[in-house]
């Protein structure tokens, strides 16, 4: 009986371990509400903040009630590709939009027509932490593609690459509480 109990305990622990790793990798699953923290190496605000009142995107210093645009709903487009809908309290544009023609970001009112920058490829960069990602804009126009948090001044734009000096291109994604 002890052998059977040992095998049962081993199986439960193994399943729990595998499920916890899988669940961590599923933070960006369709329908989830998440927040993004910029991992740039310069001090400053860090949380991706959609400002629905004026259609801009920036970095907020925290996830407090003043920054309702730090909540994003994940909408799956295809394997490894998502759209991100800002859940800010104020009416206005909601879709994270990379504007590759001029390296800027903003919020788009919808995800069709000219708003091809609302599609984002999720690139995992840390095998030990599946919640560290880079977001690559899949817009139709050539130009910089990597979502870049600029912690020195709290802005967000697109970078041409993910290596230094563009340290704000790495993001930690986590469930919004």
- Which CATH fold topology does 2-175 show? Trefoil (Acidic Fibroblast Growth Factor, subunit A) (2.80.10)
CA distance 44 to 54: 22
Q: Rounded to 5 degrees, what are φ and ψ at 49?
A: -130, 110
Instruction: State the pLDDT at residue 2.
Output: 57
Please state which of the ranges 1-10, 35-44, 67-76, 80-89 shows the lowest mean pLDDT.
1-10
Question: Span 20-49, mean pLDDT?
Answer: 83
Residue range 35-61, pLDDT digits in tens:
999 999 999 999 999 999 999 999 999
Beta-ladder partners of 98: 105
Neighbours of 154 (CB within 10 A): 16
Res. 99 pLDDT band, cuts 50 70 90: very high
CA distance 112 to 115: 5
Tokens of 39: 């991992």
Task: Give domain limits for the chain.
Answer: 2-175
Residue range 105-160, pLDDT digits in tens:
999 999 999 999 999 999 999 888 999 999 999 999 999 999 999 999 999 999 99
> Backbone dihedral region of 154: left (phi > 0), alpha (psi from -120 to 50 degrees) or beta?
left
Question: Span 161-166, mean pLDDT?
Answer: 96
Are residues 118 and 96 in contact, defined by beta-carbon separation less than 8 angstroms?
yes
Question: Span 155-168, mean pLDDT?
Answer: 97
Q: Rounded to 5 degrees, what are φ and ψ at 38?
A: -70, 135
């Amino acid at each position: 009986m002890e052998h059977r109990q040992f095998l049962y305990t081993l199986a439960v622990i193994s399943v729990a371990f595998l499920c916890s790793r899988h669940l961590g990798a599923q933070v960006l699953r369709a329908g989830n509400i998440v927040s993004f923290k910029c991992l740039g190496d310069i001090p400053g605000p860090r949380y991706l903040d959609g400002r629905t009142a004026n259609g801009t995107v920036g970095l907020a210093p925290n996830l407090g009630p003043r920054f309702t645009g730090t909540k994003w709903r994940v909408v799956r487009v295809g394997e490894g590709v998502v759209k991100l809908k800002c859940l800010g309290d104020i009416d206005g544009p909601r879709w994270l939009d990379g504007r590759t023609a001029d390296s800027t970001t903003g919020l788009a009112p919808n995800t069709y027509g000219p708003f091809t920058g609302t599609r984002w490829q999720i690139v995992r960069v840390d095998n030990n932490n599946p919640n560290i990602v880079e977001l690559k804009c899949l817009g139709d126009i050539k130009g910089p593609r990597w979502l870049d948090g600029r912690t020195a001044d709290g802005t967000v734009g697109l970078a041409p690459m993910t290596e230094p000096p563009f340290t704000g291109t790495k993001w930690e994604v986590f469930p919004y509480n």
